Structure 1
Protein backbone atom coordinates (compact mmCIF):
# COMPACT_ATOMS: atom_id res chain seq x y z
CA UNK A 1 0.00 0.00 0.00
CA UNK A 2 1.45 3.39 -0.92
CA UNK A 3 2.15 5.78 1.95
CA UNK A 4 -0.42 8.28 0.67
CA UNK A 5 -3.14 5.58 0.65
CA UNK A 6 -2.11 4.06 3.97
CA UNK A 7 -4.29 4.57 7.04
CA UNK A 8 -3.44 7.78 8.89
CA UNK A 9 -3.78 8.42 12.58
CA UNK A 10 -4.21 11.74 14.33
CA UNK A 11 -1.20 12.65 16.43
CA UNK A 12 -1.99 16.27 17.21
CA UNK A 13 -3.60 19.52 16.21
CA UNK A 14 -2.54 23.06 15.32
CA UNK A 15 -4.06 25.31 17.96
CA UNK A 16 -2.48 28.74 17.58
CA UNK A 17 0.21 31.02 16.25
CA UNK A 18 3.71 31.68 17.52
CA UNK A 19 5.57 34.73 16.27
CA UNK A 20 5.39 36.28 12.81
CA UNK A 21 7.47 33.85 10.73
CA UNK A 22 4.94 31.05 10.25
CA UNK A 23 5.44 29.10 13.49
CA UNK A 24 2.40 27.42 15.05
CA UNK A 25 1.45 26.19 18.51
CA UNK A 26 0.54 22.52 18.75
CA UNK A 27 -1.51 20.21 20.87
CA UNK A 28 0.31 16.87 20.78
CA UNK A 29 -1.32 13.54 21.62
CA UNK A 30 2.03 11.74 21.83
CA UNK A 31 3.68 10.94 25.14
CA UNK A 32 5.91 12.70 25.80
CA UNK A 33 4.32 15.44 23.73
CA UNK A 34 7.57 16.46 21.97
CA UNK A 35 7.78 12.93 20.48
CA UNK A 36 5.51 14.25 17.72
CA UNK A 37 8.66 15.69 16.10
CA UNK A 38 10.15 12.19 15.71
CA UNK A 39 7.61 11.33 13.00
CA UNK A 40 7.82 12.35 9.36
CA UNK A 41 6.11 13.17 7.15
CA UNK A 42 3.14 14.92 8.71
CA UNK A 43 -0.17 15.09 6.87
CA UNK A 44 -1.86 18.33 7.95
CA UNK A 45 -5.51 19.22 7.37
CA UNK A 46 -8.66 17.15 7.58
CA UNK A 47 -9.24 13.53 6.61
CA UNK A 48 -10.58 14.79 3.25
CA UNK A 49 -7.81 17.28 2.39
CA UNK A 50 -4.28 16.80 3.71
CA UNK A 51 -1.03 18.50 2.78
CA UNK A 52 2.19 16.55 3.32
CA UNK A 53 5.04 18.22 5.24
CA UNK A 54 8.40 16.48 5.62
CA UNK A 55 11.13 17.49 8.07
CA UNK A 56 8.99 19.66 10.33
CA UNK A 57 11.08 21.56 12.86
CA UNK A 58 9.81 22.07 16.39
CA UNK A 59 10.61 22.51 20.04
CA UNK A 60 9.13 22.94 23.47
CA UNK A 61 8.29 26.55 24.25
CA UNK A 62 7.28 27.35 27.81
CA UNK A 63 4.50 24.92 28.75
CA UNK A 64 3.67 24.12 25.12
CA UNK A 65 5.28 23.06 21.88
CA UNK A 66 5.71 24.98 18.63
CA UNK A 67 6.53 23.94 15.07
CA UNK A 68 7.55 25.39 11.75
CA UNK A 69 6.21 23.64 8.67
CA UNK A 70 8.34 23.91 5.50
CA UNK A 71 6.89 26.50 3.12
CA UNK A 72 4.75 28.22 5.76
CA UNK A 73 6.64 31.51 5.99
CA UNK A 74 4.17 34.05 7.36
CA UNK A 75 1.76 34.53 10.22
CA UNK A 76 -1.13 34.71 7.74
CA UNK A 77 -0.17 31.39 6.12
CA UNK A 78 0.12 29.80 9.57
CA UNK A 79 -3.26 31.24 10.65
CA UNK A 80 -4.94 29.29 7.84
CA UNK A 81 -3.76 26.07 9.54
CA UNK A 82 -5.33 26.68 12.96
CA UNK A 83 -7.62 23.78 13.80
CA UNK A 84 -5.95 21.42 11.31
CA UNK A 85 -5.17 17.91 12.48
CA UNK A 86 -1.67 16.47 12.29
CA UNK A 87 -1.66 12.90 11.02
CA UNK A 88 1.05 10.36 10.35
CA UNK A 89 1.05 7.09 8.43
CA UNK A 90 0.41 3.97 10.52
CA UNK A 91 3.72 2.53 9.30
CA UNK A 92 5.62 5.35 11.07
CA UNK A 93 4.80 3.75 14.42
CA UNK A 94 6.92 1.04 15.97
CA UNK A 95 5.49 -2.46 16.21
CA UNK A 96 3.48 -2.83 19.43
CA UNK A 97 4.55 -5.35 22.06
CA UNK A 98 2.53 -8.56 22.43
CA UNK A 99 -0.81 -7.79 24.07
CA UNK A 100 -0.57 -4.08 23.18
CA UNK A 101 -2.51 -2.39 20.39
CA UNK A 102 -2.65 0.98 18.73
CA UNK A 103 -6.17 2.33 18.70
CA UNK A 104 -6.00 2.76 14.93
CA UNK A 105 -5.44 -1.01 14.60
CA UNK A 106 -8.65 -1.76 16.51
CA UNK A 107 -10.85 0.56 14.44
CA UNK A 108 -13.00 -1.40 11.99
CA UNK A 109 -12.68 -4.75 13.79
CA UNK A 110 -15.86 -6.79 14.26
CA UNK A 111 -16.99 -7.16 17.86
CA UNK A 112 -18.79 -10.23 19.24
CA UNK A 113 -19.80 -11.19 22.75
CA UNK A 114 -19.11 -14.59 24.35
CA UNK A 115 -22.42 -15.92 22.99
CA UNK A 116 -21.33 -15.05 19.43
CA UNK A 117 -23.76 -12.16 19.03
CA UNK A 118 -22.37 -9.57 16.61
CA UNK A 119 -22.28 -6.07 18.09
CA UNK A 120 -20.95 -4.27 15.01
CA UNK A 121 -17.59 -2.69 14.28
CA UNK A 122 -15.24 -0.58 16.38
CA UNK A 123 -15.87 3.01 15.31
CA UNK A 124 -13.24 4.57 17.56
CA UNK A 125 -11.92 4.60 21.12
CA UNK A 126 -11.65 7.25 23.78
CA UNK A 127 -10.06 7.53 27.18
CA UNK A 128 -11.99 8.25 30.37
CA UNK A 129 -8.95 8.48 32.61
CA UNK A 130 -9.96 5.28 34.39
CA UNK A 131 -9.82 3.13 31.23
CA UNK A 132 -10.18 3.28 27.47
CA UNK A 133 -13.58 2.67 25.89
CA UNK A 134 -14.45 0.90 22.63
CA UNK A 135 -17.23 2.59 20.67
CA UNK A 136 -18.97 -0.16 18.72
CA UNK A 137 -21.53 0.75 16.06
CA UNK A 138 -24.02 -1.36 14.16
CA UNK A 139 -26.21 0.92 12.07
CA UNK A 140 -27.99 3.24 14.49
CA UNK A 141 -27.02 1.24 17.60
CA UNK A 142 -23.96 2.27 19.57
CA UNK A 143 -22.41 0.36 22.45
CA UNK A 144 -19.68 1.61 24.79
CA UNK A 145 -17.52 -1.25 26.06
CA UNK A 146 -14.71 -0.64 28.56
CA UNK A 147 -11.42 -1.76 27.03
CA UNK A 148 -10.32 -3.69 30.10
CA UNK A 149 -8.50 -6.86 29.09
CA UNK A 150 -9.35 -10.06 30.93
CA UNK A 151 -12.41 -8.49 32.57
CA UNK A 152 -14.38 -7.33 29.50
CA UNK A 153 -12.11 -7.78 26.47
CA UNK A 154 -11.45 -11.50 26.20
CA UNK A 155 -9.75 -11.71 22.81
CA UNK A 156 -8.26 -9.33 20.27
CA UNK A 157 -7.45 -10.96 16.95
CA UNK A 158 -6.01 -8.31 14.64
CA UNK A 159 -5.32 -10.82 11.84
CA UNK A 160 -8.84 -12.28 12.13
CA UNK A 161 -10.33 -8.77 12.34
CA UNK A 162 -12.35 -9.50 15.49
CA UNK A 163 -12.67 -8.72 19.18
CA UNK A 164 -14.53 -10.91 21.67
CA UNK A 165 -15.99 -9.19 24.73
CA UNK A 166 -17.76 -10.33 27.87
CA UNK A 167 -20.65 -7.90 27.50
CA UNK A 168 -24.42 -8.26 27.66
CA UNK A 169 -26.14 -7.83 24.28
CA UNK A 170 -28.80 -5.62 25.91
CA UNK A 171 -26.31 -2.98 27.05
Structure 2
Protein backbone atom coordinates (compact mmCIF):
# COMPACT_ATOMS: atom_id res chain seq x y z
CA UNK A 1 0.00 0.00 0.00
CA UNK A 2 1.52 3.28 -1.14
CA UNK A 3 1.53 5.90 1.65
CA UNK A 4 0.75 8.68 -0.87
CA UNK A 5 -2.25 6.74 -2.17
CA UNK A 6 -3.48 5.75 1.28
CA UNK A 7 -5.04 7.44 4.28
CA UNK A 8 -4.63 6.81 7.97
CA UNK A 9 -8.18 6.19 9.16
CA UNK A 10 -7.56 5.20 12.76
CA UNK A 11 -5.30 3.86 15.47
CA UNK A 12 -5.64 0.71 17.59
CA UNK A 13 -5.94 1.83 21.22
CA UNK A 14 -6.71 -1.43 22.99
CA UNK A 15 -8.43 -4.79 22.92
CA UNK A 16 -11.93 -5.85 23.93
CA UNK A 17 -12.70 -9.31 25.24
CA UNK A 18 -10.91 -12.56 24.46
CA UNK A 19 -11.80 -13.01 20.77
CA UNK A 20 -9.38 -10.54 19.17
CA UNK A 21 -11.63 -7.49 18.94
CA UNK A 22 -9.73 -4.21 18.66
CA UNK A 23 -10.66 -0.87 20.17
CA UNK A 24 -10.01 1.77 17.52
CA UNK A 25 -9.83 5.55 17.67
CA UNK A 26 -11.34 6.49 14.31
CA UNK A 27 -10.11 9.47 12.28
CA UNK A 28 -13.02 8.98 9.86
CA UNK A 29 -16.35 10.76 10.25
CA UNK A 30 -18.34 7.63 9.43
CA UNK A 31 -18.11 4.05 10.60
CA UNK A 32 -18.83 3.15 6.94
CA UNK A 33 -15.13 3.74 6.27
CA UNK A 34 -14.57 0.46 8.17
CA UNK A 35 -17.04 -1.63 6.07
CA UNK A 36 -16.63 -5.41 6.20
CA UNK A 37 -14.64 -6.70 3.25
CA UNK A 38 -12.33 -3.68 2.97
CA UNK A 39 -8.60 -4.28 3.19
CA UNK A 40 -6.54 -2.23 5.62
CA UNK A 41 -2.86 -2.04 6.47
CA UNK A 42 -1.79 -1.96 10.11
CA UNK A 43 1.63 -0.54 10.76
CA UNK A 44 3.69 1.30 13.29
CA UNK A 45 3.69 5.07 12.84
CA UNK A 46 7.50 4.99 12.59
CA UNK A 47 7.70 1.95 10.33
CA UNK A 48 9.51 2.33 7.03
CA UNK A 49 7.46 2.60 3.86
CA UNK A 50 5.69 -0.62 3.00
CA UNK A 51 6.27 -2.28 6.37
CA UNK A 52 3.08 -3.47 7.96
CA UNK A 53 0.53 -6.21 7.54
CA UNK A 54 -2.66 -6.27 5.49
CA UNK A 55 -5.95 -7.46 6.99
CA UNK A 56 -9.56 -7.76 5.83
CA UNK A 57 -12.24 -6.16 8.01
CA UNK A 58 -14.81 -8.70 9.19
CA UNK A 59 -16.92 -6.46 11.44
CA UNK A 60 -17.01 -2.89 12.75
CA UNK A 61 -19.32 -1.61 15.48
CA UNK A 62 -19.64 1.82 17.11
CA UNK A 63 -18.32 1.55 20.67
CA UNK A 64 -18.20 4.40 23.19
CA UNK A 65 -16.09 7.10 21.47
CA UNK A 66 -14.58 4.77 18.91
CA UNK A 67 -15.05 1.52 17.04
CA UNK A 68 -14.76 -2.17 17.86
CA UNK A 69 -13.04 -3.78 14.90
CA UNK A 70 -12.76 -7.45 14.02
CA UNK A 71 -10.06 -8.40 11.51
CA UNK A 72 -9.59 -11.65 9.65
CA UNK A 73 -6.87 -13.72 11.31
CA UNK A 74 -6.99 -11.86 14.63
CA UNK A 75 -9.05 -14.29 16.70
CA UNK A 76 -7.60 -14.11 20.18
CA UNK A 77 -6.54 -11.52 22.74
CA UNK A 78 -2.79 -12.19 22.36
CA UNK A 79 -2.82 -11.48 18.62
CA UNK A 80 -4.94 -8.37 19.19
CA UNK A 81 -2.59 -7.02 21.90
CA UNK A 82 0.30 -7.10 19.40
CA UNK A 83 -1.59 -4.52 17.31
CA UNK A 84 -2.08 -1.89 20.04
CA UNK A 85 -0.64 1.43 18.88
CA UNK A 86 -0.68 0.52 15.18
CA UNK A 87 -2.05 2.94 12.61
CA UNK A 88 -4.81 1.71 10.30
CA UNK A 89 -4.38 2.74 6.67
CA UNK A 90 -6.73 2.26 3.72
CA UNK A 91 -6.16 2.71 -0.02
CA UNK A 92 -7.68 5.96 -1.25
CA UNK A 93 -9.54 4.07 -3.99
CA UNK A 94 -11.60 2.33 -1.26
CA UNK A 95 -12.87 5.70 -0.01
CA UNK A 96 -15.67 7.74 -1.53
CA UNK A 97 -14.82 11.07 -3.14
CA UNK A 98 -15.44 13.85 -0.64
CA UNK A 99 -18.56 15.92 -1.10
CA UNK A 100 -18.37 19.42 -2.52
CA UNK A 101 -16.57 21.85 -0.21
CA UNK A 102 -15.19 19.02 1.94
CA UNK A 103 -11.69 17.57 1.94
CA UNK A 104 -9.77 14.76 3.47
CA UNK A 105 -7.46 16.17 6.14
CA UNK A 106 -4.48 14.37 4.64
CA UNK A 107 -4.98 16.30 1.39
CA UNK A 108 -4.71 19.61 3.26
CA UNK A 109 -1.53 18.86 5.23
CA UNK A 110 1.47 20.71 3.79
CA UNK A 111 -0.57 23.24 1.78
CA UNK A 112 0.69 26.85 1.72
CA UNK A 113 -1.65 29.36 3.37
CA UNK A 114 -1.89 32.94 2.11
CA UNK A 115 -3.90 35.68 3.80
CA UNK A 116 -5.19 38.71 1.86
CA UNK A 117 -3.71 41.11 4.45
CA UNK A 118 -0.56 39.32 5.58
CA UNK A 119 0.48 37.29 2.54
CA UNK A 120 2.16 33.94 3.23
CA UNK A 121 1.45 32.85 6.83
CA UNK A 122 2.79 29.29 6.68
CA UNK A 123 2.03 25.66 5.89
CA UNK A 124 -0.65 23.45 7.41
CA UNK A 125 1.13 21.08 9.79
CA UNK A 126 -1.87 19.66 11.66
CA UNK A 127 -5.66 19.70 11.83
CA UNK A 128 -7.82 18.92 14.84
CA UNK A 129 -11.56 18.87 15.57
CA UNK A 130 -13.07 21.31 18.07
CA UNK A 131 -16.73 20.34 17.88
CA UNK A 132 -17.82 23.46 16.00
CA UNK A 133 -15.19 23.60 13.24
CA UNK A 134 -11.98 21.78 12.46
CA UNK A 135 -8.94 23.89 13.32
CA UNK A 136 -6.02 24.31 10.91
CA UNK A 137 -2.61 24.54 12.56
CA UNK A 138 -0.41 26.71 10.35
CA UNK A 139 3.31 27.10 10.97
CA UNK A 140 5.87 29.40 9.41
CA UNK A 141 9.52 29.30 10.51
CA UNK A 142 8.82 30.52 14.05
CA UNK A 143 5.11 31.11 14.58
CA UNK A 144 2.00 29.01 14.82
CA UNK A 145 -1.40 30.30 13.70
CA UNK A 146 -4.73 28.58 14.35
CA UNK A 147 -7.44 29.10 11.76
CA UNK A 148 -10.99 27.73 12.03
CA UNK A 149 -12.01 25.74 8.96
CA UNK A 150 -15.01 27.97 8.30
CA UNK A 151 -16.15 29.84 5.18
CA UNK A 152 -15.72 33.19 6.99
CA UNK A 153 -11.97 32.54 7.33
CA UNK A 154 -11.05 30.04 4.60
CA UNK A 155 -11.86 31.67 1.28
CA UNK A 156 -10.61 29.04 -1.16
CA UNK A 157 -8.74 25.75 -1.36
CA UNK A 158 -6.84 24.77 -4.49
CA UNK A 159 -5.46 21.25 -4.12
CA UNK A 160 -3.77 21.34 -7.53
CA UNK A 161 -1.81 24.49 -6.70
CA UNK A 162 -1.46 23.37 -3.05
CA UNK A 163 -2.73 26.72 -1.79
CA UNK A 164 -5.32 27.91 0.71
CA UNK A 165 -6.42 31.54 0.71
CA UNK A 166 -7.77 33.14 3.87
CA UNK A 167 -9.23 36.40 5.07
CA UNK A 168 -8.38 36.57 8.76
CA UNK A 169 -9.36 39.22 11.30
CA UNK A 170 -6.38 40.95 12.97
CA UNK A 171 -6.81 38.97 16.21
CA UNK A 172 -6.15 35.69 14.35
CA UNK A 173 -3.11 36.95 12.46
CA UNK A 174 0.32 36.32 14.00
CA UNK A 175 2.28 39.37 15.15
CA UNK A 176 5.18 40.14 12.84
Query: Could you tell me the TM-score, scaled by structure 2's length?
Result: 0.79
Partner of 1:46: 44
Gapped runs of 5+ residues in structure 2?
A: none
* Structure 1 residue 39: Cα displacement: 7.3
Partner of 1:33: 31
* Structure 1 residue 118: Cα displacement: 0.9
In the aligned structure 1, how far is the partner of 2:98 from the partner of 2:139? 25
Partner of 2:81: 79
Q: More deviation in 32-41 or 79-88?
A: 32-41
Query: What RMSD in Å do the two structures reach over aligned CA positions?
Result: 2.5
Partner of 2:115: 113
Partner of 1:20: 18
Q: More deviation in 30-39 or 12-21?
A: 30-39
- Provide closer, same or farther for how the CA distance between residues 62 and 105 of structure 1 changes in structure 2, counting only shifts above 3 A: closer
- Does structure 1 residue 11 correspond to structure 2 residue 9? yes
| Secondary structure, aligned partner of 2:56 | coil
CA contact 1:123–1:135 (8 Å) conserved in 2: yes
In the aligned structure 2, how far is the partner of 1:31 from the partner of 1:170? 31
Write the deviation string for residues 108-140 of structure 1: whole angstroms up to 9, x where unpaired. Answer: 110010036111111121111121111111123
| Secondary structure, aligned partner of 2:15 | strand
In the aligned structure 2, how far is the partner of 1:92 from the partner of 1:140? 38
Gapped runs of 5+ residues in structure 1?
A: none
Q: More deviation in 9-18 or 101-110?
A: 9-18
- Provide closer, same or farther for how the CA distance between residues 58 and 20 of structure 1 changes in structure 2, counting only shifts above 3 A: same
Q: More deviation in 89-98 or 132-141?
A: 89-98
CA contact 2:36–2:56 (8 Å) conserved in 1: no
Partner of 2:133: 131
In the aligned structure 1, how far is the partner of 2:52 from the partner of 2:21? 16
